Chain A
Amino acid sequence: MLPSLLLYGLINSVILALTALGFSLTYGISRVANFAHGALYVLAGFAAWVFLNRLQMNYYGALALAIIATGVIGVLIYRFALIRVRGMPLLEIIVTFALGTAVLETLRYFGFFGSHYTLPPLFRGSVILFGVPVDRQRVALVVIGGVLVFVLWLLTHHTRIGLAFRAMAQDEQAAMMSGIDSDRMATLSLAFGAALVGLAAVVLLPLSFIATESGAHILVSAIAVCILGGLESPAGVIVASLLIGYAQIFTVAYLGPHYQMIVALFAILITLILKPSGLFGKQKELEERV
């Protein structure tokens, strides 16, 4: 039993990390909590489905285009809605939440519901790892998650745009004094965050099907991971994903599956009580110490 728990705990953790990385990246750079995150996940899934089934596009082309389209929508969200309320956190949340709800309800209105909206997996079949059967798509997820983290590290440490992102994350005013365009960086943060959740959608949705209901679930998961790890911390996202991912799997195995849902909510509650800035968050660390 233990090998299967360890293996599926890792897979669950990678799934959580994939869904949360985009939210964390956007918040880390622009301080915008993008509550349309879950809706963008669903939208990316349906976009891939439309490109694949209605436009008869090539499989990888459809997935890539869906990711890019989601990134473009991130740009539009910033340029047409968020730019007007930037710096007012409550309004940013209301605007993004409203946009997310509008996207999901519009999808429903146009008939995007039912379990027939599915994406084919990247890899079919299963393999035995450490005596535990696991399907190839889940193995691929772990690899994709690892590669993604490495690419993000390279981007933020070895490219001009990545260094600008980090400068914005550390101190926006100082970054602006150095000639970094704050609005441009915030736009890019929304684009990257949206594209990342788009990537999560096209690799995760072949495991299940595309449903508007999953938007809320993805948003709650991403928020739980980011709050536990520290809202703006990529390292925190990785650690928090592992903590929540394994906690969920062990809860299912030893307490029962119906307690699985409360693990993430419990993590939010405990973190906000004991260390509101999260495990690796710096945002309110000083106030907490005081």
Chain B
Amino acid sequence: MKTKSLWFSPMMVLVVVGFGFFPGASSMAQQKGQPIVIGAPLSTQYLYGWDAQRAMLLAVEEINAKGGVQVGKTRRPFSLEVLDTRDLEPGVPLSEALLVVEKLILEKKADVLMGGPVRSEAALAAMDLIAKHKKVSILTTGSLTPAYHRRVAENYSKYKYLFRITSEAVQLSKEAVDLFESLKQEFGFDQIFIMVQDVAHARAIGDIVGKSLASKGWKVLGTEVYPTGALDYSTGLLKARDQKAQILFVWMDHPEIAILVKQWRDLKIPALPIAGISSAVEQPGGWANTDGAVAYWVASPANAGNAPSNATPLTMKFYDAYKKRWLVEPEGYGTSSSYTAVYVLADAIKRAGSLDSDRLVAALEKTDMVGVYGKIAFDPKSHQVIPSYDPKEGAVGTWFQWQDQKRVVIWPAPIAMGKIRIPPTLSPAK
């Protein structure tokens, strides 16, 4: 300890003296080592929080290992500050998430916000706060409500600092409907039963998908809305069975969907279960967690890269790097988007040559790069990532099915790694 302090003293004198002789050197040295702080408000005890945190940290470590980000003439490392918003936990008021956002801006001095808030209601509530502080924010997980980017488009001058790099409810509904239409063509299915969670985005998706399918000649046999934390789904499942549903469309992001999955198997419901964003089904541990009941379940972790595919040359590179770093495959729908967002931010900072919010917004609006899940570009008015079924054209979604303990991407066709399988309890209609 004594040796260390003796060694440090003359060094400190030299440094102080050096700065005295070269006035410009002081600010340069400070700038060089000063990290760019990414503030991440995330519900860290839920899949959609911890997956984003891990993915961001992986990207930050990779970028820092290469020397950091070029900001004008200096290279600066990223620093990730994560605070728990708890906004996915039942009963926790939204104000908690807003306090976290404020703390990241004022106390942690975040240069940019990334990640959440995760729950749509919290993300919408945080928009004004973020806009007031003129902080650039890239939403990478959670919030699927179309109201988010609609608000940006309607009041651009106020909300121009807000971007969303992941998919949203309308796009996911469109993907679901197109998937169902392909199943209708291939197997003749046209009877569907819908079960959704009682949260804004899930209700909206259930409604949009139901109406859209009805207009295309499908028989929508019923829509059941379950409260967050519901522990029994038998009545709904038996209704679906009695009404001879061929497809069971489920959209629930609470972990209790694991109960539904087990009940679907135990009650031998003869319907193909298709879940959208559904934590217990999406996770790589889904098979083990449900004792194999998740076999034949289809789910969408929103963006390609959250299940193995070759959407872009970066997809499997990211997939393998994540697996190596965290000893688990990419987990939920906030994973590949959070990882990509850090690279998109680094690219924008480099082009802007500054961390000034207005210059950063202008740079982000001109983003045009290949990410883990396709071409990444933002709509210049709404700041929503531009979606596509072709990874060369835009951000591509992904739908996989649990087959032989593995998550096999079955849709959309350009990135499919296998064909969908029908449960033995269900017979194709044609």
Q: What is the interface of chain A, defined by CB distance below 8 A to chain B?
A: 1, 4-5, 8, 12, 108, 113-116, 118, 120-121, 124-126, 132-135, 207-209, 211, 213-214, 216-217, 249, 252-253, 256-258, 260-261
Contacts and interface: CB of A to CB of B under 8 A. Distances in A.
Contacts of A214: 229
Contacts of B233: 257
A115 B266 contact: no
Interface stretch (B3-11, B142-150, B220-228): B220-228
A256 B224 contact: yes
Interface stretch (B253-261, B301-309, B311-319): B253-261
A104 B232 CA distance: 23
A109 to B, nearest CB: 10
Contact of A115 (B231, B267, B279, B291): B279
Interface in B224-251: 224-227, 229-236, 238-239, 242
Nearest to A250: B235
B289 interface: yes
Contacts of A120: 291
Contact of B232 (A12, A124, A258): A12
Contacts of B256: 208
A132 B238 contact: yes
Interface string B146-168: 00000000000000000000000
Q: Which size class do B's interface residues fall under?
A: 35 or more
A260 B263 contact: no
Nearest to B288: A116
Given A115-B279, A126-B268, A208 B235 contact: no
Given A1-B239, A256-B224, 12 more contacts: A4-B234, A118-B289, A133-B266, A135-B263, A216-B90, A216-B91, A257-B224, A257-B225, A257-B230, A257-B235, A260-B230, A261-B230
A135 B267 contact: yes
B266 A126 contact: yes
A1 B239 CA distance: 8
Contacts of B279: 115
B280 interface: yes
Contact of A207 (B227, B229, B262): B262
B291 A8 contact: no
Interface in B259-315: 259, 262-263, 266-268, 279-280, 283, 285, 288-291
B229 A217 contact: yes
7 contacts: A115-B47, A116-B289, A135-B263, A207-B231, A208-B258, A211-B255, A258-B225
Max count, chain A CB within 10 A of own CB: residue among B225, B229, B234: B234
Contacts of A252: 232, 235-236
B96 to A, nearest CB: 14
B89 interface: yes
A208 B231 contact: yes
Contacts, number: 99
A113 B256 CA distance: 13
B280 A115 contact: yes
B198 interface: yes
B45 interface: yes
A1 B90 CA distance: 32
Contacts of A126: 266-268
Nearest to A249: B235
A26 to B, nearest CB: 23
Given A115-B279, A116-B288, A133-B267, A209 B255 contact: yes
Nearest to A114: B47
B45 A113 contact: yes
B267 A213 contact: no
Contacts of B231: 207-208, 217
Nearest to A9: B235
Given A132-B238, A249-B235, A108 B229 contact: no
B140 to A, nearest CB: 20
A4 B91 contact: no
Which residue, B45, B235, B285, has most C-beta atoms of chain A within 10 A? B235
A5 B235 contact: yes
A125 B236 CA distance: 20
A115 B235 contact: no
B226 A258 contact: yes
A119 B285 CA distance: 14
A144 to B, nearest CB: 17
Nearest to A251: B235
A193 B291 CA distance: 31
A8 B91 CA distance: 28
B323 to A, nearest CB: 16
A1 B283 CA distance: 34
A4 B235 CA distance: 8
A117 B35 CA distance: 37
A135 B224 contact: no
A115 B289 contact: yes
5 closest A-B pairs by CB: A135-B266, A115-B255, A113-B45, A126-B266, A208-B259
Q: Give the interface centre of B45, B225, B267 by most chain A CB atoms within 10 Å.
A: B45
Nearest to B50: A114
A125 B289 CA distance: 16
A114 B256 CA distance: 11
A106 to B, nearest CB: 13
A120 B267 CA distance: 18
B271 to A, nearest CB: 14
